[in-house]
Each structure stands twice: as C-alpha cells, then as structure tokens.
Amino acid sequence: MNSPKYRFLTAAGAILILAALMSWWMGGPDYVSYTAAALGVTSFTALSLEGFTSANSVSYGGESMTMKLLGNKTMGFLFSEIQEIHLQEQGLLIRVKEMEDIKLSRKRYTSESLEELTRILKDKKAKQ
C-alpha cells in the first residue's frame, strides 16, 4: 500500500473528488463535475479491486500486518505478537502467538519476496 502506484491513485482520486465538489459548489458545468466525480470514484475502485484480483498480497502499518495468501486465506497479526521469524532453505516460517504457524514455501513464492518480507518483519518487530 506504500507503493507509488497506490499513492498516485489515492492522490488522484482525492483531487478529482475535490474538483467535482468545488465545481458543483461554484456552479460549474455539470459535465465537468460528473466526469471528475466518476474518475475519482474509478481511481478509488481500482485500489480496492487490486486486493480482489491479486492472489498474494501483504499490507502493513506501524503495528500490524495483514497477509492475503492463495486467493482466500487472509490473516492478520500485530508485530508485537511475533515469536519467531526464520528464513530457511525451504522457505519462511513465522510463528505468532495463539496462531497457526505461517509457512511460506520457496516453491510458491520468489526468494526476493521472502527475503523482503523477512526484512520487513524483523525491522517492525525490532521497533516494538
């Protein structure tokens, strides 16, 4: 969610919605208002559709992470609840309090993705 694409779509959507509201408020042409509003809503819709169409996604903030894996399995946890993060030859193992172990295989996920996820988890865990 911190990628330039998401930031651009969010900013564009907000600006277009504001432009539509200002056009309505100031009595501008209706076609300008409706076009700006439609494009703004489309921008926000594109953001939400990304989560439905991608098989694997990870979003995180300052205290928590949500992982959508294999199209229908979604899990979330706090970084403070992480007990173990172990990147091994078979893949990534994440142990979280009161949750089933999360095992991400190198057969299913790229090594770069697993290494980046490991780095993020360790950085966020260290800050807790």
d(CA 10, CA 127): 28
Asked whether residue 1 carries a pLDDT value surpassing 80, the answer given is: no
- Let me know: does 79 contact 126? Beta carbons within 8 Å: no
Provide the 3-class DSSP secondary structure of residue 79. helix
Compute the average pLDDT of residues 23-49. 89
**pLDDT confidence bin for 2, thresholds 50/70/90:** low
pLDDT the model gives residue 54: 59
User: For residue 51, is pLDDT > 60?
Assistant: no
Per DSSP (E only), the strands in the chain are 57-60, 64-69, 73-78, 82-87, 91-96, 102-105
